Structure formats: structure tokens, C-alpha cells
Amino acid sequence: MTDIIASPAVKEAVKVVMEQQEHHGEDAAAEARASQPIRASVLRADQLAHEAEDHARDRQHVKGKLTARERLDLLLDTGSFEEIGRFRGGDINGGRAGSAVITGFGEVFGRKVAVYAQDFSVKGGTLGVAEGRKICHLMDKALDLKVPIVALIDSGGARIQEGVAALTEYGHLFRKTCDASGFVPQLSLILGPCAGGAVYCPALTDLIIMTRENSNMFVTGPDVVKAATGEVISMDDLGGGYVHNATSGVAHYLGEDEADAIDYARTVLAYLPSNADQQPPVYAYAATRADRDVAKRLATIVPDNDRQPYDVLDVIRCIVDYGEFVQVHELFAASAVVGFACIDGHPVGIVANQPNVNAGILDVDSSEKVARFVRLCDAFNLPVVTLVDTPGYKPGAEQEHAGIIRRGAKVIYAYANAQVPLVTIILRKAFGGAYIVMGSKAIGADLNYAWPSSQIAVLGAAGAVNIIHRKDLQKAKDAGKDVEALRAKYIADYERTTVNANLSLEMGEIDAMIDPEQTRETIIESLRLLASKKRVRRTTKHHGNQPL
């Protein structure tokens, strides 16, 4: 910290003044100040800063919350925080230490990040002109330096006393956030209230992290909801951390407490580059004999019965370094799994169907979950490894009316436009449109592989037989024959001739059939091959019109 009030000279001067005041009163303290080569205004600023933090602790700790500066201490490497504009928006002579937001730069695992932390102990953390300008200034510097932006949010929203001027600052923040989108990683930690128009700042960022307690987001609060609709609902049920992680999908991680939420933010930043112009960091990894034992486990995870569920997380942990997988959107749309991992020391994004939940089917929520994550990886140069085991899209009027066409198309758009290395492994089932959209070669994947037991077709064998042989089955029934035996024969024939991966291999849509225990090594070799893949601008268009 390079602020003058943190310098040894100031600390010593303050110590002397405080001792004089304690033992001899104000007159002696004034004499001590006069004898020290430190300006009185600096001492006053230091005193205000300490009083402000004491006040913040008194206000926050009783609610089970940390102060803004305590949160920054947890987020950043020790001693790395460089605050900017500490007293901007304050009034030193008037006894006001600063505004309701702390801004500055620090390091996370030795890499520079920009941070701002709203201070609820100052005017409820509300945003006015001073706060808005401080944050915008920080974001401008972050874009110049090409470093990630982390927001620690704990605010009552726009400062009512400043009226439209406060709202205008939100407009500026929205614009800055959009400018930064896809250029530098942006993380939002919701560690208190976030209401009204303020919710759209985090909504525009890459990841939103909330806590189980004290964390709330909503456009209109419970009182407004009650007045407008008569519905009585609590803050947590309306917009608490669990609701936005498990139901709405607004948030991407639910921390047990503030320390857990902040640790997750640090972990995610370790997988991402500082900006879109850089490659992700590379970590040392030394293969061991244990890797072979882990690889052999893959052959035992997926059941022979294609209707029997299993946990795809077991497959992922056998493929990635040290079995470490950082899930994103863990509680939302659980029929799909997405998250960060390293393979041979290189960060990647993992996308997988989850047979343990609704057979790994694609629905409106899992489609948006997958699409958003693929876009995030593509923006920040992370290769995407896709593990496929899905029977297709979820059928029914509910899904159609919820927009499965529009929202399912987002997966297509994300994969078709991605220009990072794309490697796909078909573990078991890949049926219909879901086969195409889940990183197929036809949609743009670079290298595609299949396990020997994989099934690739328009429909599963049973569904296809019921359509193709409908008349034959009806005739057999009318003739009093064993319909189920005949159906089983047709299913076996269809699986032998059509559902297996042979046709895809012959067409070149699958590059190779691999044994499960070869999976990790195959992915490593594929990513090495694709390491020099370059982005290509194919047209002069401004941008595509993504289904939203």
C-alpha cells in the first residue's frame, strides 16, 4: 500500500500523538503534532480512515458480514493492494473519510487485477456521482492495463438524494461493463443487497458469486412486490443466493460464507488469462504412475446398460489434472455440467452431459448454461473439451412453450462461432439434434472421438424401431405373434447396423474410436496439435444476431 497515511513516518507520528493525547490531553497532543514533520491534514486524514474502518466493523460484524477492506484482504495477495482515490468524494475538514466505494489494484496469485468494493457502512453503500465516477475511472484504467475487474457488491442501490444524477452513473457503468465484456474477465461478488437497476451491472459480467446468507438480488423488493401484486415473499425467497443459483440461474456459485465466495473468485481467476489478447496461464504438471491407474478406472464408470445412470463427474475427475474440477452453475440445470480444469497443466473448459440427472437430456436451462460457458471460454482462449452422453432434447409442450427452439439454438451459435480448440468425446449416447449441437464436427469441432460402446443416431434403437417397423409390429400383433420378441429382434438389428459409431467413422465425423483409458492422453495430444490454431475473420460483418 503506497498511500501516505500508511507510511512509517505517518504511523510513528500518529503513535506519538495518540500517546500524548492519552497521557497528557489535547494540548500536549497539539504540541506533539507541531513537533512532528507531518502536516496536520495528513494526520486528520489518517484518523478519519481509522475511524471509518472502526465504524464499518461495528456496522458489518453484527450482521455477520465483513467490512469492504476485510473482503479485499481476503481477495488479494497479502500487501498487494494499491488504493486509488481513497478520499475522493469525502470531506477531510468536514470529518468525512470518503465515498461509499473503495477502488484500487491488487494481485491474485501474483497477477494484477482491478477491484472495487462497496462500503455499506457509508450511506448504505449507495451509489452517487462520486462513487460512479470512481468506479468508471477504475474500469478505464483496467481496460488500459488489460487486467480483470472484480466487484465486491454490498449496496442499497442508487442514492435517492442525488436523484437522476445517480441513475446517470449507472448508465455509465453499464456502458463501461459492456466495453469490457469479452476483453477482460469480470467477476461480481454479491455480498449484501443488490437491488433495482444496480442488478444489471453484475448481470453484464462473466460470473456472479453469491453467499447463502445476506446475499440478495432483485429488480423489485418484497415491499414493492406486495404493493403491486399482493404477494407476500421474503427477501431470500425472492432473490436470495440459493434461489439465483438453483432456480433462476442468475448466479454461478453459492458460497457458504464470504470467505468461501471470495476463495472461489480467486480460484476462477487462476484459470483465466488477464485479457482476451493473452493465453491462459500454464502450470507445471508431472505425470505419475497413478495417472495410469486413474485412466483404467474410466473403463468401469459407464455402465453397459445404456439406460443406467452414472455420474459424469467421475469421468471428468479421471481426465483432468489431480482430479480438480471447478464447477460453474453447479446448482442450476444439473443435466449438464460445465466448469474449469487443467489438462497437462493447461486450463480448459469442460462441458458434459450428466446422465445422473434426467438422463443428461438437453432442456431450455441446460442449453443456456452450456452456451454461455462455451462463449466465456471462447472469449478468453480456453479450449473446450466436450463429453457427450445425451438422448436428445427434452420433449413436451412445457419445453416448447418455454422456447426450446430459441434457447436451444444458443448452443449451436456458441459452438459454431467458437474459434478456440474444440475436442469432443462421445462416451455413450449421442442422438438426434443433441448430437449435432454438442460439439459435433459438423458444427465446427476440430477433433472428435468415440468410446467403443457409443451410440450415434437420429433416434435411440427403441424409438426408431417403433417408427420404422410400426406396421410390421401391428401385423404381428394382429396375427397373434410375440410382438415383444419381434421388437427386440428389430432393436438388436438396428443397434448392430445403425446406432453404433461405424457410420460416423466412415463419414469422417468421428476421427477415431478410443478405449476409455486412452481418453486423457488423446485429449492431451489433441490440444498439443491444436495449440497453434488461429482465429479467422471470415466476413466483414459487425457481429452476428445471436438468438437471445
Q: Residues with catalytic annotation?
A: 196-197, 433-434
In the block, cell 462455451 appears at 374
Greatest alpha-carbon span in the chain: 114
Give the three-state DSSP class for 324: coil
Using alpha carbons, select from 208, 207, 197 the residue that is nearest to residue 170.
Answer: 197
Are 106 and 143 in contact, with CB atoms under 8 Å apart?
no
Q: Which long-range contacts (CB under 8 A, 24 or more apart) does 216-224 make?
A: 216/190, 216/192, 216/240, 216/241, 217/190, 217/244, 217/250, 217/251, 219/195, 220/196, 221/195
CA distances from 291 to 7, 303, 338, 504, 518 (A): 51, 22, 23, 30, 11
Say how many C-beta atoms besides its own lie within 10 A of residue 537's C-beta: 7
Say how many C-beta atoms besides its own lie within 10 A of residue 240's C-beta: 23
Question: Whole-angstrom Cα distance, residue 281 to residue 96?
Answer: 42
Per residue, the 3-state secondary structure of 481-516, as one string, reads: CCHHHHHHHHHHHHHHHHHECHHHHHHCCCCEECCH
Are 207 and 187 in contact, with CB atoms under 8 Å apart?
yes
Question: Whole-angstrom Cα distance, residue 438 to residue 451?
Answer: 16
Give the three-state DSSP class for 271: helix
